[in-house]
Structure 1
Amino acid sequence: MAIDIEAARRTPPKVIMLRVRRYDPEAKRVWWQEYKVETHRGMTVLDALLKVKEEQDHTLVLRYSCRMGLCGSCGMVINGTPRLACQAQISEVASEANPVITVEPLYNFPVIRDLVTDFTDFFNKHKSVKPYLIRKDREEQENPKGQYDMSPDEYFQIYQYTNCIYCGLCYAACPVVAADPEFLGPQALMYAFRFVNDVRDEGWAERLLIVDTEHGCHRCHFAASCSAVCPKAVDPAGAIQMLRSKLFKYRMGLYKRRVSKIIGPPPEKGERVPLPPEAETLPGVDLKKMEQEPVVIKLPEE
């Protein structure tokens, strides 16, 4: 999902109301709880939730890690849209006219507690498409004697799909997953296409048969909601349509593609080239003195 840069640049409302959907598994209780939070410029929804946890309610449970949109841990539904909380700026999802932000756990996932969901089924479906390189020669696969040849164009065909961070937003946004819990889902099908399209892989026929089922790629209705919410622009909806095309050609006996060969061992590392003397590299600079002095960075006043 593209970040609204203009909205992110705006000054957020001074005070927001976080309306959080909570769940207590021991009491089997679901309820909405509201928290008032003072904001600052650049604050994200994740920042606001952590501020609530630290200052108001330590019982609030959520999952997070990197805080920069790389790990995919903080996926949740914000104002009705699956998003990464660390990428959702307060100024983007709230305003002075409407300072209320609704936060829910990801749809289509069992809820463990509050905003934490269970990804077991998600990863089981991911594993079911065999998301790894398969070679007919098992010895070669386990103990390769070199690297496989792959042109830049061939790598470009799969690069986009290697950016998946397993955040589950596509799965939460998919209406077919909501209607059919057995559906493999956009993430697993996208990964199947990623390896079917990889010239280093020889298990493409096996993988195509895995997705050619009642709950496989034919079940996709191409709502494209998965691609709309993807924080890495992976476009699983497009991948599923191309996977269908390859499956049709395979069933018609028309699908063929190149399989890369081993091109020999990787080049050995050469000896390190010694660095030039410090005085020649940084004339007039005493690095030891710099290491002892504290670094002070002056920030511009708002």
Structure 2
Amino acid sequence: MSTATLDKHEPQDAPASATAADLITVTFRIRRFNPEVAADASWEDFRFEIDPKERVLDALHKIKWELDGTLTFRRSCAHGICGSDAMRINGRNRLACKTLIKDMNPEKPITVEPIKGLAVLKDLVVDMEPFFQAYRDIMPFLVTKGNEPTRERLQSAEDRERFDDTTKCILCAACTSSCPVFWNDGQYFGPQAIVGAHRFIFDSRDEGGEQRLEILNSKEGVWRCRTTFNCTEACPRGIEITKAIQEVKRALITRRF
């Protein structure tokens, strides 16, 4: 295990609001993998000073910009909306942009590794294609019959409330990659795909509910869920994923939705 250290006497671009007294020394232990260099992954330590009120994403930027430019990870909006920076931080799936360093027990090494269940391409970047394919398979779009309407399809506030929770999904894969069934069965649709289906199955304007239910009724569908609640605990948006999965199961049995 190698360690990179940033000399505290070197110039640093600390936020204007941070003073030297605000900074603490932290160690980030990151799971590194580069298929062009080695066949196996390894851990690498990075030790540097940072304001504990900064986010894990800020620390990763500091490492990439000041210590090791080869560190590879995904991020975009940095505000918990795009979902691209989901990773395992101290053993739990989280968004790096929503995780404060001070909440990660910075007295000990903070571990960062890619989410599980998806092939690692490099460092913290995984192949998201199987995840997105499962989402595409459940038809994540409004299905209607007849002619195209000349005005918007109206819906009551009560009907909208029925599926409001599952509209919050940002496709970060934190829920699916926290699922033990998904880790061991790459064919399982996974929690997010079921949440995506829920959003349309219970939409009063949609007419494709039966089709989606039949898709999820397969051997790799909703019945593979073992109700461990990992997905609900991992969701950065607070979606009650396990509840949504149970509602889809109930709809499959009763055919009422």
With normalisation by structure 1, the TM-score equals 0.76
Instruction: Give 3-state SS (helix, strand or coil) of 1:24's partner.
Output: coil
Q: Give aligned-pair identity as a percent.
A: 37
Contact 1:12/1:90 (8 A) holds in 2: no
Following TM superposition, by how much is the alpha carbon of 1:231 offset from its aligned partner in structure 2, in angstroms? 0.6
Which stretch has the larger CA shift, 27-36 or 43-52? 27-36
**Hey, what does 1:281 align to over in structure 2?**
none
1:30 equivalent in structure 2: 41
1:68 alignment partner, SS class: coil
Match of 1:52 in 2: 63
How far apart, in 2, do the equivalents of 1:29 and 1:207 lie? 40
| Structure 1 runs not aligned, ≥5 long | 1-10, 258-302
Displaced runs of 4 or more, over 4 A: none
Matches within 5 A, 1:1-302: 14-27=24-37, 28-96=39-107, 98=108, 100-137=109-146, 139-140=147-148, 144-250=149-255, 255=256
1:149 CA displacement: 2.4
State the Cα distance separating 1:12 from its structure 2 match.
8.0
Contact 1:13 1:94 in 2 (8 A): no
Structure 2 distance, partners of 1:164, 1:238, is 14
State the one-letter code of the partner of 1:174.
C
**Structure 1 residues 62 and 125: alpha-carbon distance in aligned structure 2, compared to 1, 3 A threshold:** same
Pairwise CA distance, 1:41: 4.0
> Residues 27 and 106 of structure 2 are in contact (CA less than 8 Å); yes or no, is this contact kept in structure 1?
no
Q: Is the 8 A contact 1:136 1:203 kept in 2?
A: no
Q: Verify the 8 A CA contact 2:166 2:239 in the aligned structure 1.
A: yes
After TM superposition, give the deviation of residue 52 of structure 1 in Å: 0.6
Structure-2 residue corresponding to 1:276: none
Change (3 A) 1:161 1:221: same
Please say if residues 142 and 206 of structure 2, whose CA atoms lie closer than 8 Å, have aligned partners that are also in contact.
Answer: yes
Deviations 1:82-137 (A, max 9, x none): 100111111000243x2x10000111111110001111000000000001110122
Q: Which has the larger radius of gyration?
A: 1
TM-score (norm: length of structure 2): 0.88
TM-aligned CA distance change 1:67 to 1:73, over 3 Å:
same
Report the residue type matching 1:114 in the other structure.
Answer: D
Structure 2 gaps, min length 5: 1-20
* Residue identity opposite 1:80 in structure 2: G
Is the alpha carbon distance of 1:75 and 1:12 closer, same or farther for their aligned partners in structure 2, counting shifts above 3 Å? farther
